[in-house]
Amino acid sequence: MSRRKPARGRQVNRGDRLGELFRQIIAEELERIDRDELSLVSVTSVEVDGNLSKALVTVSNLEPADDELVLETLGEIRVKLQRAVGDQARVRRVPPFQFAIDDVLRSAARIDDILRGIDPSEEE
C-alpha cells in the first residue's frame, strides 16, 4: 500500500491541526462556563508541540487589570477544559495546558491610537 503525498502548499503539521481544533473546543467551553472573570476573554491560539507534551493556550482579555485573575481562573478550570478537549477531539492524550495573555490586540490598538493622533498637516 502506498501512501498518498499531500498536495503541495497544503501541508499542515499535526500540531497546527490539533492546535486549531483545541482552540475551537476551548472557546466553546469558555462560553458555557459562567464565570464573570472570563466574560471578556477570547482564545486567540493554541500551540501544541509535535509529541503532545504541552499546549500553550493564548487568550486575549479586554481588561488588562484583570490579567492575573483571568490566568488564575483558567488555571482553576484547566482540568475541565482538558477533559472537554479529550472527549471532543478524540485524541489518545491531551497535553497539559499552560495559559498566557496575548498582548497583540492591545499593542495593535495602542499603535492605532498613536497613528490617529498624528496630524498629517504637521509633517516636517
Task: State phi, psi for 56 to the nearest 5 degrees.
Answer: -100, 115
Which 3 state secondary structure label does DSSP give 58?
A: strand
71 vs 10, more confident: 71
Q: So what's the pLDDT on residue 15?
A: 81
Domains of the chain, each with CATH number or no CATH: 14-119 (3.30.300.20)
Backbone angles phi, psi at 91, to 5 degrees: -110, 150
In this prediction the pTM is 0.77
Is the pLDDT assigned to residue 4 strictly greater than 60?
no
Percentages helix, strand, coil for the chain, rounded to the nearest 5?
A: 50, 15, 30
The pLDDT of residue 37 is above 70: yes
pLDDT of residue 76: 95
